Amino acid sequence: MDSGSPGTPTSQPGARKVVRVLSGERLWPPPIWMMRQAGRYLPEYRATRAEAGGFLELCYTPRLATEVTLQPIRRFGFDAAILFSDILVVPQALGQKLWFAEGEGPRLETFDLAALPLVDPATAIGRLAPVFEAVASIRAGLPAETTLLGFCGAPWTVATYMIAGRGTDDQGPARRAAQTDPAAVQRLIDLLVETSIGYLAAQVEAGADAVQIFDTWGGNLDDADFERFAVEPVRRIVEGLRGRGIGVPVIGFPKGAGARLPAYVARTDVSAVGLDWQASLGFVRDHVQPLAPVQGNLDPLRLVTGGAGLDAAIDRILGTLGAGPLVFNLGHGITPDGRIDNVTRMIERVRGAGEVRDHG
């Protein structure tokens, strides 16, 4: 790989652009990719999913997971591809029954939290072999200059689904469990930390250039539980990867962290941090970007509404964060009603910014 040996990041000019920025280099215009860029807004994705027959079949069939991962690269030429999978394949591999109800999202069979009748991390990682096969296949099919991102869910976010058996408005079941039986929740978090380390390491070994840890629900915690269940587990994952000699960039995405972003970056030692669309750009510029490269944070709704509002939102991000290391992205995943013409418009505006002005 031209970005160095597996597990070793580089900021050399020959490296892939996203890796360079995640390693601390400022590029103008910034590289761009999009969370959920392989998804239902694309007709080719819908056709491949129909061929698979179901969402989990799509995740676990390397040929099809490769195809949908490559589709947005072919159409848009993003600077990074992200493995097509789901954060809940980890609890499934640990032994929790998982299914997707059409139109309702994921469902997990609940279990006795105190007993934790789940398998060990090594067994779980062995069950995820099709995911690693897909990573290798995707890397082989990508342009040499395109970064390949692996990912996992943060332990707290994965635990919220495991405890509730589904997504809820505020993931209250897990928050209640954390307050009434924190020791039991901690045991689950510990299991997920160990499993996540092995899962991400295997993705890197298969060809991922960097990894992202998605913490969709960490921002719902109060300060004490945010430190214990959101910050500390991610810190341990980063430490565990480094202890295995895995040196690729790690992006943390703590949705809803707000003013806690600087502490999150400092405590977890993530290489870069993803920003949700509600993060204050001025605050990020002054208090977060000096600590680590940032990624984000266009409101996904802008890709539905489009027009001058989309242009202005893009320009605000570039104008505020473009002087430092920035990977342009959304503040969450693109929605199924996102418009392809607006995605094209976004890419052209970001890449065209380099012809208009340069902060250097």
Helix, strand, coil percent content, the chain, rounded in steps of 5: 50, 10, 35
Q: Is 302 annotated as a binding residue?
A: no
Radius of gyration from C-alpha coordinates of the chain: 19
Q: Which of 16, 41, 45, 49 is catalytic?
A: 49
* Angstrom distance (rounded) from CA 222 to CA 239: 24
The reply to whether 339 belongs to the active site is: no
Q: Is 40 annotated as a binding residue?
A: yes
Q: Which of 16, 36, 235, 260 is catalytic?
A: 36
Q: Is 287 annotated as a binding residue?
A: no
* Angstrom distance (rounded) from CA 258 to CA 32: 23
Q: Is 38 annotated as a binding residue?
A: yes
* Angstrom distance (rounded) from CA 273 to CA 264: 9
Q: Is 146 annotated as a binding residue?
A: no
Q: Is 16 annotated as a binding residue?
A: no
Q: Which of 41, 45, 60, 161 is catalytic?
A: 161
Q: Is 60 annotated as a binding residue?
A: no
* Angstrom distance (rounded) from CA 270 to CA 214: 12
The reply to whether 40 belongs to the active site is: yes
Query: How many whole angstroms from its chain centre is CA 132?
Result: 17
Q: Is 244 annotated as a binding residue?
A: no
284 half-sphere exposure, CB direction, 13 A CA radius: 29
b (16+ CB within 10 A) / e for 281-310: beebbeebbebbbbbbbbbbbbbbebeeeb
In sequence order, the β-bridge partners of residue 294 are 273, 326
Whether 38 contacts 72, CB under 8 Å = yes
Q: Is 210 annotated as a binding residue?
A: no
The reply to whether 45 belongs to the active site is: no
Q: Give yes or no for a cis peptide into 297 (omega within 30° of 0).
A: yes
Q: Which of 40, 46, 127, 166 is catalytic?
A: 40
Q: Which of 26, 46, 75, 86 is catalytic?
A: 86
Residue 248 vs residues 8, 244, 357: alpha-carbon distances, Å: 5, 11, 31
Which residues are designated catalytic?
A: 36, 40, 49, 86, 161
Q: Pick out the residues of the known binding site for substrate.
A: 36-40, 86, 161, 216, 332
Q: Pick out the residues of the known binding site.
A: 36-40, 86, 161, 216, 332
